Structure 1
Amino acid sequence: MTEIKFCENNFTFGTEETMNKLKENFNDADVSVESCLGYCGDCAVGPYALVNDELIQAETADQLYEKIKDMM
C-alpha cells in the first residue's frame, strides 16, 4: 500500500485539494495529514508530499497531484 503524507502547514499552496483528490481517486492509498512533517525549508517554498517517505515536490499543487498519480 502506498503511504502519502501531507503537512497541514503546506495547505497554503493548495495541497489540501491535492490530498482530497488522491483520497477520492486512490482508495488503495493511505493518505494522511500531519501538523508538521519536519521539512520546513521545503514546506515554505512550494507544494510537497511524502510518498512512502520519499519527498516529492512540484511547482503547483496540480503538478504535485500528477507526479503522485504517476507513481501509483
Structure 2
Amino acid sequence: MGIVVVEICDSNLLLSIPNIEHLIESEYPEVAVLINDCLNFCGLCRLKPYAMVNNKRIHGKTPEETLAKIRQAIEEELAVYE
C-alpha cells in the first residue's frame, strides 16, 4: 500500500482515461490507486470527474484537467515525506 491513496469511483468520468490506475502508479510508486464501487458522493461521479487523494476531493471540468490536479495533489502529499 502506498503512502498516498487515490480513490476513484467506478462510475466516474475519470475512468475514460485508459488504464488510469496503472498510469498514476507507474509515475508515482508511492501511490496506491483504488477503484471503488461507490465513494458515497451520490451522483457526483456522473456530473464531473473527481477522485479522492488522501481523503481530499479533487475535481476538474475534464478527465485530463482532473488528472493534472491529481498529480499536483500527489506532489503536495509526497512533499510532506521529503
Fold agreement, TM-score > 0.5: yes
Give me the identity figure in percent. 24
Q: Is the 8 A contact 1:5 1:32 kept in 2?
A: yes
SS of the aligned residue for 2:47 comes to coil
2:32 pairs with one of 12, 30, 34: 30
Aligned partners of 1:58, 1:18: CA distance in 2, in Å?
15
Give the aligned partner of residue 61 of structure 1.
63
Q: TM-score normalised to the size of structure 1?
A: 0.83
Count of paired positions: 72
What does residue range 33-44 of structure 1 map to in structure 2 within 5 Å? 33-44=35-46
Structure of higher CA gyration radius: 2
2:18 counterpart of 1:20: no
Q: CA deviation at 1:17?
A: 4.2
The structure where helix makes up a greater share of residues is 1
User: Aligned pair in 2 of structure 1 residues 7, 16: CA closer, same or farther (>3 Å)?
Assistant: farther
Aligned partners of 1:4, 1:13: CA distance in 2, in Å?
13
Q: TM-score normalised to the size of structure 2?
A: 0.74
Aligned partners of 1:22, 1:67: CA distance in 2, in Å?
12
Q: CA deviation at 1:41?
A: 2.8
Aligned partners of 2:40, 2:22: CA distance in 1, in Å?
22
